[in-house]
Structure formats: C-alpha cells, structure tokens
Amino acid sequence: MSVPPESVIPPPPSEPPMVGEPSAEQRQWAMFAHLSALVGAILTGAWGGGWGCFIGPLIIWLMKKETMPFVDDQAKEALNFNITVAIVAVVLVLLTVMTLGIGLVIAIPVGIVVGIAWLVFTIIAAIKANEGVRYRYPFTLRLVK
C-alpha cells in the first residue's frame, strides 16, 4: 500500500522559510529589534541594572511577528540573546551573594567580558540585519521559538 503524495505532511523546517530578500522596511525593523536592546539597557542602566535590554526586542517581536517574517526571526534572536545575557548576569550576582562577596573575583572579570561581547555582538547583529542577513548570536539559548 502506498500513501498518496498529497497526504504526506512534510516535517517542519528548522528555520522559518525566507522567500526572496527582505524589504527595506523589514531590514530596518530587524535592525531596530537589535538596537532596541542597547537603548533599553541604557535607559534602565543606572536605575534598573540594565534589565530593559529585552523589552525592546520583545515589543518589536510582538508587533511585527505576524506581518514580517524577517523581523520575526531577528527580533526572536535578539530577545533570546538578551534573555541569555540576563541569565548570566543573575548567575554572577548569585555567585557573589552566595560566596559573601568572594565571588566578585570571578564575577567582575566575567561580567566585563560578557558586557563587551554583548555590545559587540549586538552591533554586529544590527549591521547584518540592515544588510538583510539572518544573524545568529553565538552562545545563545533559544528559549523563544
């Protein structure tokens, strides 16, 4: 017995399909998704510990996910990366608190490296998104799918 080809459901793709090149508007919104993390971190920096870094990508993703596939992909990527960085920051704070401050010997250098990497990767991602390239951050937990 053979199964007719129409009834076979193909497996879901690992990444959303991209048809053609993203429009200039999609590239611009995708760039804003990445750069909004910088703006959010700056605005909440002194008062909120920089926790606003994932609010901008979240808002852009929620607004544009249904209408712009490229923005959907890049905003999720920015959101996942910033959530990952926030998790690392929480772990470093917990390390410091649980060791009664001795963990600062590790937390400060690691925090500086993570902060510089966050800034560099965010800028690279914004540039790539503006070029229409689907950028993937390294060392990112893909929590939002």
Residue 48: predicted pLDDT:
62
132 CB-contact burial (10 Å; exposed 0-12 / middle 13-18 / buried 19+): middle
Instruction: For residue 12, tell me if it sits in a domain.
Output: no
Residue 14 has pLDDT above 80, yes or no: no
Instruction: For residue 32, tell me if it sits in a domain.
Output: yes
Position with higher pLDDT, 31 vs 8: 31
CB 124 within 8 A of CB 135: yes
Which of 143, 144, 126 has the alpha carbon at shortest distance from 135? 126
Instruction: For residue 140, tell me if it sits in a domain.
Output: no
Residue 15 has pLDDT above 80, yes or no: no
pLDDT tens, position by position, 23-80: 999 999 999 999 999 998 888 875 566 677 888 999 999 999 999 999 999 999 999 9
Residue 41: predicted pLDDT:
85
Instruction: For residue 13, tell me if it sits in a domain.
Output: no
Domain count within the chain: 1
| Integer angstrom CA distances of residue 107 from 43, 53, 101 | 23, 20, 9
By residue range, what is the domain housing residue 69?
A: 22-130
The two tokens of residue 72 are 């959907």
Prediction pTM value? 0.81
Cα 48 from Cα 55, distance rounded (Å): 12
Instruction: For residue 74, tell me if it sits in a domain.
Output: yes
Instruction: For residue 137, tell me if it sits in a domain.
Output: no
The two tokens of residue 145 are 């799918």
